[in-house]
Amino acid sequence: MAWQYCYNGKKSQSMSVGEMKHFHAGRVMHPNKLYSGQKCPLKCKTMEHKILSAPLASFTDLLLDAVCMVDVEGRFVFVSAACERIFGYTQQEMIGMQMIDLVAPADRARTLAAARAIMDGHAQTHFENRYLRKDGRLAHIMWSARWSAPHQLRVAVARDVSALKQAQAKQAALYAISEATHAAGDMPALLQRILHIIGEHLPVRSLTLQLQDEHGMQTPITCHAAGSAPQAAPPLAGLLCDEVLRCGRTVLLQTGKLAGLPEALQQAASGLAADWLAVPLYSSRGSIGVLAWQSGQDGVMSTEQDQDLLQFVAKQLATAIERQQLHTQMQFMAMHDELTRLPNRRLFHDRLYTAFARAHRQQGRLSLLFLDLNGFKRVNDRHGHACGDLLLQAVAARLRDCIRETDTLARMGGDEFVILLENNAMPADIALIEQKIHAALAMPLHLGNGDVLQTAVSIGAAHYPDDADSMQMLLRHADRAMYLSKSRQDASA
């Protein structure tokens, strides 16, 4: 019986089992030609006889790649042993099956188009598509195939490139997450980009992120593949994230596989249509949150490859979040006082410059209040510096309650504070704020160590444009007014 063979994507001539030929360097050669024109020795004749008498399948079964033959109706008529390793079906199970039934639904149209092109005489090399294995997992296959007209068969060699595709997906995700971290302005925007990255490799309906820090749990947010704005997480996602944070491990929700989960989570997951997979996020500081993925295909079970890729994405996301949080923390530390968490001298001067330029441009008004605690040195000397730090924190909290959110309260250093007031406040209005501050600080201050102290403050005010027409002069005027107020109080004391 004659067959049309394909080797390295090149067509060989028709050959029968009764004709002795060898594969060598991608070509089909007679045994005598292997000896550069010399006559084949007796040993070669013996080997020729053994090869001729061996069945074709005994050679194809030695290949790591799969060899398949498909008839005009699209049914497998021959498969080599490697097919069981690649597709999960035995050779007996695959014979007679429709090839297209094994192809992933999303790839069927272009696979049929490629099959028609092959049957029209156009050989295909390096054609890639995905197949559904017997166990439900996806296998990425690279094909080389051609048509044997005399035998009305498509003859193909299939190579499993799933591991390569998985590595490429991880590498692409790594680069994309790194770029997203730098491009995204906030966490919802970053989550939306991560959803898009995962959606390029997995069917995804929604993605939920819940973070925790030293201040406690943050509200979880959910992004949907439909493109809607990030929103509050659904109850099921919130319960799933809570369970992952509690147990510290990955949790998979699948229909009929909810045993062992908390009762509230089982009830929320009743009637589950699509899989949910939640992965903990870990950084060098420990657990920082949870990433939960909802499959985009109802009734399709998530595979090990899906879980592996999502866990890889979660690991990279945790690193990116930690880096982003560290960057945010460093920016905050550069512009804020470490003890009181108030804006520091640098940030205050930046805001004053902007406010002064705006007031000058709009012919508006602004005021400065310089504040200095009275007798603060005695507190440090009598109660210690730790108590003095607690007093500064308590004073900062009281001062913050005396002003509006649009005003700026900053610590200039030591026991000195400054308040920037905008929105065209008149001197009479500023005087009322000064009275409010004096009254607030006259009340006993309960410190964190159990001590109760009272303090007073000296305040100096300066108004633009009444007292100065430049920023430097305004600062100098407020400073002089504060020291004048302090000297008066010291004299009266």
Active site residue 186: no
Query: Side-chain half-sphere of 67: how many Cα atoms within 13 Å?
Result: 20
- What one-letter code names the amino acid at 454? Q
Q: To 5 degrees, how large is the angle CA 270–CA 274–CA 275?
A: 90
Helix (H, G, I), strand (E, B) or coil at 432: helix
Q: Quick one: 259 exposed, middle or buried, by C-beta within 10 A (0-12, 13-18, 19+)?
A: exposed
CA 349 to centroid of chain Cα atoms: 37
DSSP string, 237-305: HHHHHHHHHHH-S-EEE-TT--TTS-HHHHHHTTT--S-EEEEEEEETTEEEEEEEEEESSTTPPPPHH
Whole-angstrom distance, CA of residue 263 vs CA of residue 130: 38
The DSSP bridge partners found for residue 100 are: none
- Catalytic residue from among 242, 337, 415, 479: 415
Query: Roughly what angle, to the nearest 10 degrees, separates helices 187-199 and 162-183?
Result: 160
Whole-angstrom distance, CA of residue 279 vs CA of residue 283: 13
**Which residues make Cβ contacts (< 8 Å) with residue 259, sequence separation at least 6?**
none
Could you give the C-alpha distances from 482 to 37, 373, 416, 457, in angstroms and in order?
Answer: 110, 11, 10, 10
DSSP assigned state of 231: E
Q: To 5 degrees, how large is the angle CA 84–CA 85–CA 89?
A: 30
Whole-angstrom distance, CA of residue 4 vs CA of residue 384: 95
Cis omega (within 30 of 0) on the bond before 105? Answer: no
Whole-angstrom distance, CA of residue 66 vs CA of residue 79: 7
Nearest to 412 by CA among 481, 486, 324, 352: 352
The residues assigned a catalytic role are 415
